[in-house]
Every structure is written in structure tokens, then in C-alpha cells.
Amino acid sequence: MNDPVSPADTLRRSLAGLLDGLPPRQAAAAVERLIANYRGATPTHAPILRDRADVAAYAAYRMPATFEAVHSALEEFAEAAPEWVPASHTDVGGGTGAATWAVSATWPGERSVTVLDWAEPALALGREIAAANPALHDVRWQRSRIGAALSLESTDLVTISYVLNELAEKDRTTLVDTAASAAQAVVIVEPGTPDGYARVIEARDRLIAAGFHVAAPCPHSAACPITPGADWCHFSARVSRSSLHRQVKGGSLPYEDEKFAYVAAARFPVTPAPSRIVRKPQIRKGQVLLDLCETDPALTRTTVTKRHGDLYKAARDADWGDAWPPADH
């Protein structure tokens, strides 16, 4: 019997077919132009993705990274709330639907899903790609301006991924408050930059003020122990690189690492990690150095040596972003 194909593999196959008939040089040029636009100050009333060629190029380039980042965040959320499965999901600013794929990979099965975005070409292509995923056959793809005027119907889960960076501060705060009032759980993902982290912390504070409990990545719902401006909290997800990735970015590695910051919070009780590994573990002879965010809250460095037996083996296998110690220790 063949193993079922994962949503991630299905998504990669679907994206690979998007660029058929589009010359590679043209696709790469479209991606480079779109990246430049996204890094600029683009008002929400002017969609950057103008037509199908734009959307196809950008989806093929960005969807795998968005999927992996959001999936990583959702997996950690699911660890903190193992009995909970969302029966409904609203993806705000979801574009071609990467977060909906990530939700289906985290909690298999069908659910009520709505994707909201201002760019009609992105929604149309998202619907086309979703046809390959049985869990996404009944998604509602709805054109909606993402900002202060947005209203959301009651839903179990709201995801907001790589959206806050496109909004003015007033629109950001109103959007987070709107999500908090509509949802039982909210997961927000931003680029893993100091600015992205600052937006996540701002959203985290508003969610806590609205009565939410932080499920991940933080082991607590107290103030973040990082001194503002001195450092930032972010994580990394491994992404398989397509030929388009290699053409745009150069190099020949078959993968790249997507850096992201996130917060996952819920109105219901959650069990966050005892502590979280917040830097890449440093493996040295006979010891592993782990930088941890603790429940206290505090940032600490702990050294795990061979004298710790099985815990030392677990430390050697631990990844940046993992809960610590592992659940079976």
C-alpha cells in the first residue's frame, strides 16, 4: 500500500505546474519586481499582484516558504493544545492560501474555511491550486480589503501570515483586535526580522489584553524578557528550493531557511512548553549549549553534557524552536 501524499508534497507539485508556458527569465523578473514592491510602502488599496502571471510567479516563489513557516507555528500550537481541532478557519490576507494548506497539514480533514484577500487574481489562483487538496474543496475565496474596516464572522481559528508588515499601525492594531473578538485561537506569522518581531510582540500584547493565553512559542503569557532593540525572537523553517528559487537567488543548494517570528494564542486553556530553544543549539565535544526562554520568564543558557545520559542525546537532536525538555523526558 502506498503512503498517502502529504499536503506539502501536493502543494509543491501543484506549484511546479504553475509556470508552464511562462519563460523562466520572465518568471524570475516578475518575482524580483514583486519582491521590490513588497519591500516598499504599498498602500492596501493598491494590490501588488496584478494578474495571473504575477500571481503564478510569486506563488511558486513564496508559497512554499509561507507554508513551512505557518506549519511550524501551527505544529507548536497543536502541541500546546493537543485535544483541540479547529472546525472553522479564516485566513486573513491569505492570498493564494498557503496558510490553509498549513492548517490542513496540521489538522487533517475538512472544515469550514474562508480566505480573505484584496487581490482577486491571488484568490482565483488559490482556488485553482486548492483543487489538488481534498480538504480544501469547499473553501470560500472572498475579496475583502484587509485593514481597519474589516469585519470577521465568528470562527475557531484565524491565521494572519505576512500581512501586518503591509499595514499601517492603526490598521494593524484594529485587525488584531478584530481577530481576537472573532476567534477562539489566533496565529500570527511575520518575517523573522527585528521589525517583524516588534509587530508580533505588539500583536501578542493585544491578544493577551483581550483575554488570550499564549500557546507558543513563549512558555508564558508574561512580558517578553528580550530587551527592546537589543535582540529579537525568531525561528527558522527549512524550505526545498525550486529551480525558480535558484534562478532568482543564485546558488545551487536544494534548500533555504525561512526566518520567521510568530505568536499562537487561544481563549481556552493551553499547556505551553516548559521552555523554548530560541537559538540554534551549539554542539561541542561532549556538550550541547542551549539558549532557552523559560517560564519565569527569563532567557538562560543551559549546558547539557554526556553526564545527563538520554537528555544529552535529546539535546544533540534538538532544533532551534523546539520545546525543551522533550515531552518524554
Give pLDDT tens digits along the chain (329 positions).
445 678 888 888 888 777 666 666 776 777 777 666 655 554 445 545 556 777 787 788 888 899 999 999 999 999 999 999 999 999 999 999 999 999 999 999 989 999 999 888 889 999 999 999 999 998 999 999 998 889 999 999 999 999 999 899 999 999 999 999 999 999 999 999 999 999 999 999 999 999 999 999 999 999 999 988 889 999 999 887 666 555 555 556 566 789 999 999 999 999 999 999 999 999 999 999 999 999 988 999 999 999 999 999 999 999 999 999 987 76
Kindly state the helix (H) or strand (E) to which residue 305 belongs, with its residue range. Answer: strand 298-305
Q: What are phi and psi of 197, to 5 degrees?
A: -60, -40
Cβ 295 vs Cβ 275: under 8 Å: yes
Strands 255-266 and 275-277: unpaired
Grid cell locating 76: 507548536
CATH 3.40.50.150 domain span(s) along the chain = 7-266
Write down the residue that cell numbers 487561544 correspond to: 266
- 30 Cβ neighbours under 8 A, 6+ residues apart: 53, 54, 57, 58
Provide the β-strand partners of residue 265: 186, 214
Residue 37: per-residue pLDDT: 62
HSE on the CB side for 306, CA within 13 Å? Answer: 3
Q: How far apart are CA 322 and CA 297, in angstroms?
A: 17
Neighbours of 112 (CB within 10 A): 15
3.40.50.150, 3.40.50.80, 3.40.50.1100, 1.10.40.30: CATH of 7-266:
3.40.50.150
The interaxial angle of helices 52-80 and 98-106, nearest 10 deg, is 30
Cβ 261 vs Cβ 69: under 8 Å: no
Cβ 31 vs Cβ 64: under 8 Å: no
Residue 82: per-residue pLDDT: 96
Look up residue 204 and give its amino acid: R
Residue 32: per-residue pLDDT: 73
Alpha-carbon radius of gyration of the chain: 20
Angle 159-163-164 (CA atoms, 0-180°, nearest 5)? 105
